[in-house]
Amino acid sequence: MKKLSRSRRSFLFSAGAAALWIPRSVKGYSTTEMHSFDRDGQVEDTITKWDLDTPALCVDLDALERNLKTLQQTVSGNGIASRPHAKTHKCPAIARLQLETGSVGICVAKVSEAEAMFEHGIEEILLTTTNVTPLKISRAMRLRKWCAGFIQATDSLNNAHSLSEAARAVGITADIVVDVDPGGHRTGISPGQPALELAQEIDRLPGLHLRGILCYDGGSQHVKGFEKRKTQTLSRLAPAGETIDLFKRSGLNTEIFSGGGTGTYNIDHETPFFTDVQVGSYLFMDAQYMSIGGATNDEIYSDFEPSLMILTTVVNDQYKGQVTTDAGAKACTINQPWPIVKGETGMSYRSGSDEFGTLQYDNPSRTYKVGDKLELIVSHCDPVVNLYDQMYAIRRDQVEAIWRIEARGMST
Ligand SMILES: Cc1ncc(COP(=O)(O)O)c(C=O)c1O
């Protein structure tokens, strides 16, 4: 093996260790330094978000806590529960907060997310995606062996048979929900007779235990205008409601009817037999959701507050009418609409190039110079979170905790 030169060895040592070579008098703590302040997830030293090196992902704790409370109060007032989707935050610390504030469990999209959540102490997990390969099926069933609160979705007879065999091979009976298609034809089995026949087969198979259905109407979540959204989703969920009624009349277990999301969280309870809403984005909000309008505000969806921000630094201010920042596609994604500069008007942001963002002045409430930091409300929260290893939990500008995004990049 090639030997490292002395200078390269000392560089790697100083960069990887406590980053001793960065003078403390310069504010702008690196990720490595921030982790050295971390005591079991809490940061006791006085560090403000403005001291963080950028781009950095920050979550405002007051806003996050208000979002958790609004959700729980609304769903419990409507007689249903919440089973939030952890594909949004991928962070066990947040999953714990959701469970502590009343959620009955969490959802995940991938087996690897489920494994990461379980490894970090989360035990009530619904995997909303049907696994089709033998590898994923056996991983899910092995997880179920250790995690009694694990529930798996399925949408075909063949898949149910494979699940039953894999469950028997590890000596368990796996909990299963039937994924019913709301009409988008993305995943799920057709409602009515096909779903009933699948449920009856699950009920007969030795390795499976039927728990109910899952029906996620993704196509309605971002419909603009509350009344339009409501009419659409209620009509699309109605066949699933009739299906679970069929299950009931056939003597099958109907304890779970899970579905919905942030756009329909205050509508879903109107579908008969609906039990729990799988909200994801409500925690953080984003530019996509803010534009759909709500029951009380036609223009802006203000039921939940934006709590997730990308902190970015201006790196060039030499050109008229714009500045360049260090948050481009690798920090923000290129989802549309573009991120929004928090608290400012008359300027628009583009994260179209890999490493840089452009802030264009139209009629700006202020201007920025090199070294200034600004906060961006994210375009679409899920893919943004997946770009970062940790998020900084901020209360009134102070860094209160560092939350590891343990399931970041877990896409298998
Ligand atoms: C199956 C499923 N349930 C729930 C959600 C949560 O949606 P939202 O972030 O809109 O609340 C998603 C998001 O894509 C999903 O795929």
* C-beta neighbour count of 103 within 10 angstroms: 23
The mean pLDDT value for 341-352 works out to 97
Q: Are 155 and 127 in contact (CB under 8 A)?
A: no
Q: Structure tokens of 387? A: 């770009």
To test the pocket of ligand 1, the residue of 87, 89, 284 to mutate (highest count of ligand atoms within 8 Å of its CB) is 87
> Residues near 122 by Cβ (< 8 Å), separated by ≥ 6?
86, 92, 95, 96, 99, 106
Average model confidence (pLDDT) for the chain? 93
Domains of the chain as residue ranges with CATH:
56-60+302-404 (2.40.37.20), 62-290 (3.20.20.10)
User: Is 278 touching ligand 1 by the criterion CB < 6 Å?
Assistant: yes
- Two structure tokens written together for 254: 């109907």
One-letter amino acid at 102 equals: G
Question: What is the per-residue pLDDT across 153-203, written as a single tens digit (0 to 9) for each?
Answer: 999 999 999 999 999 999 999 999 999 999 999 999 999 999 999 999 999
Average pLDDT over residues 361-385: 97
Q: Are strands 208-215 and 81-82 parallel, antiparallel or unpaired?
A: unpaired
The dihedrals phi and psi of 250, each to the nearest 5 degrees, come to: -95, 5
Cα 393 to chain centroid, rounded: 16
Q: Is the pLDDT of residue 258 over 50?
A: yes
- For 98-116, what is each residue's pLDDT tens digit? 999 999 999 999 999 999 9
128 lines ligand 1 (CB under 6 A): yes
Sign of CA dihedral 196, 200, 201, 205: positive
Residue 5: pLDDT band (50, 70, 90) is low
- Of 411, 407, 412, the closest CA to residue 106 belongs to 407
Could you identify the atom of ligand 1 that is nearest to the CA of residue 381? 9
Q: Would you state the pLDDT for residue 37? A: 83
- Alpha carbon distance, N-terminus to C-terminus of the chain: 33
User: Cis peptide leading into 337, omega within 30 of 0?
Assistant: yes
Q: What is the pLDDT of residue 32?
A: 82
Calculate how far, in angstroms, residue 294's C-alpha sits from the geometric centre of ligand 1. Answer: 18
Neighbour tally for 142: CB within 10 Å: 17
Answer yes or no: is the C-beta of 280 below 6 A from any ligand 1 atom: yes
* Percent residues over pLDDT 70 in the chain: 93
**Cβ 261 under 6 angstroms from ligand 1:** yes
Q: Output the pLDDT for position 27.
A: 64
Mean pLDDT of 342-351: 97
Query: Residue 118 has what pLDDT?
Result: 98
260 closest CA partner among 278, 282, 272, 241: 278
| Ligand 1 binding pocket includes 383 (Cβ within 6 Å) | no
Q: State the distance from the centre of ligand 1 to the C-alpha of 6, rounded, in angstroms.
A: 51
CA of 286 to the centre of ligand 1 (A): 14
The DSSP 8-state label assigned to residue 219 in this structure reads G
* Of the candidates 144, 115, 125, 146, the residue with the CA atom closest to the CA atom of residue 406: 115
Asked if residue 85 has its Cβ within 6 Å of ligand 1, the reply is yes
Q: Tens of pLDDT along 65-92?
A: 999 999 999 999 999 999 999 999 999 9
Q: Which of 155, 257, 278 to mutate to test the pocket of ligand 1 (most atoms within 8 A of CB)?
A: 278
pLDDT surpassing 70 at residue 397:
yes
Contact 255, 271 (CB under 8 A): no
Q: Does the beta carbon of 289 lie inside 6 Å of ligand 1?
A: no
